[in-house]
Structure 1
Amino acid sequence: MEQPSGEVWQPPPPMEYKLNFDAVIFLGMEKSGIGATIRNEKGEVMAGMSAIEPKVDTSEEAKLLVCRRSIEFTVDAGFTRLMIEGDNTNVMKAISSDVANYSFLGNVVDDIRHLISGLQWATTSKIRRGGNKVAHVLIQHARNLEYDLYWLEDSPPPALEALYQDLVL
């Protein structure tokens, strides 16, 4: 298709989205909380989740489980090009490695790698804990939840202040 100026029309490049996730084990409670956000290149929230999971033994286990669940949520919501960011070095190394994982959580790592391989494009990176504020607010919101909450094309109300701070800073 040719434009009036003689230039050939090019479709816009496919958009990439950023997935941030985090998890916490609630001390004294028989559950853990998870939070995730998917944002576009402008930092606008495209989807988010605040959810509860059964209690787990370690932070690493909680973060692997939220990683898998948040990627499943992302795929179900139709996103196929992701920058996956988490704040746990061991988790991010495990999911981005090609080396077989024989740990007791190896099956979860395999699930995550399989989900990532089904995406059109993906990259993983470890971010500092402060770069994951919005997901952290969403997991704290999960502390009092009785059921999981999901937001599509809407900013999660519990995280509005953290979102605003991210955009300003």
Structure 2
Amino acid sequence: MAVWDFAMPSPLHLCRAFHNSWASWTASEARLRIATSASDTTPLPAEAIHAPPLPPPVDTVYCSTDAGFSGPDRSPTFGFYVRSMDGAFVAAASGPLACPYDPLLAEAMAIHEALSWLQEHNYHNVQILSDCAVLVASFRDAGSYRSYLGIVLDSCLRLINSFPACSVKFVRRGSNLVAHALAKHVSAVEARTVWRDSLPPFISPAMI
């Protein structure tokens, strides 16, 4: 410790000196941060801040998907329902899946079935709708799944990237009743079926 004039500074003097130095340093750092922030930040124009989201392309189709397990042997099935932006019927399909009793895997395979059909029939702008929130979130980190689910997710992502515009979104079960009914109907276990003219008769208008 330094000594001036053969006398040591008192503890009170040292505390006051420290607090004064600390206050000066923190004030200087604060001014520096404000100046740096102001120089590095480019303000967004007002029209960018308040701009509404862009609407989807006019030829976008919405495709609701679902999976289910039927009967005592829990046979896995899928269903999907395609409609235009104005709600007009486009197509519907259902059929069996080849997978074990794994609800998340079955949901992923149902989306894969829908994407494959949409690609095969030359649809370009697609929104896939699923009521499985866990699956929708899984697409953000598909590479972390070291299982057959990861393989299916990766295959789905390859299909998604083949479309000019395609996204997977979560919807509540109440908005996914048609796809759910298609997947759970007994005909889905027996064979793959595609409807192009109208929805099958077992779909009630209240579900749409």
Give the TM-score of the pair, scaled to structure 2: 0.66
Cα deviation, residue 103, structure 1: 3.1
| Structure 1 residues 109-157: Cα deviation after superposition (integer angstroms, max 9, x where no partner) | 0000000000010122111111100001111224564221101243233
Which residue of structure 2 aligns with residue 156 of structure 1? 200
2:146 counterpart of 1:103: yes
Q: Which has the higher contact order (CA 8 A, sep 6+)?
A: 1
- 8 Å Cα contact 2:77-2:188 kept in structure 1: no
Distance 1:55 1:121 in 2: 29
Cα deviation, residue 50, structure 1: 1.3
Letter in 1 for 2:60: E
User: CA-atom RMSD, angstroms?
Assistant: 2.0
Which residue of structure 2 aligns with residue 64 of structure 1? 108
Distance 2:179 2:142 in 1: 28
Residue identity (%) = 21
Give the TM-score of the pair, scaled to structure 1: 0.80
Which residue of structure 1 aligns with residue 93 of structure 2? 49
Residues 1-169 of structure 1 mapped to structure 2, 5 A cutoff:
14-29=58-73, 31-95=75-139, 97=140, 100-104=143-147, 105-142=149-186, 145-159=189-203, 161=204, 164-166=205-207
Distance 2:154 2:187 in 1: 29
Letter in 2 for 1:84: I
Gaps of 5+ in 2: 1-56
Specify which structure has the higher proportion of helix. 2
Distance 2:123 2:201 in 1: 22
Letter in 2 for 1:74: L
Gaps of 5+ in 1: 1-12
Letter in 2 for 1:165: A
- 8 Å Cα contact 1:34-1:139 kept in structure 2: yes
How many residue pairs end up in the alignment? 151
Distance 1:26 1:80 in 2: 33
- 8 Å Cα contact 2:67-2:103 kept in structure 1: yes
Specify which structure has the higher proportion of strand. 1
Note closer, same or farther for the CA distance 1:158–1:90 as it changes in structure 2 (3 Å cut): same
| Structure 1 residues 16-42: Cα deviation after superposition (integer angstroms, max 9, x where no partner) | 110100001225125212100111012
Distance 2:67 2:136 in 1: 14
- 8 Å Cα contact 2:108-2:153 kept in structure 1: yes
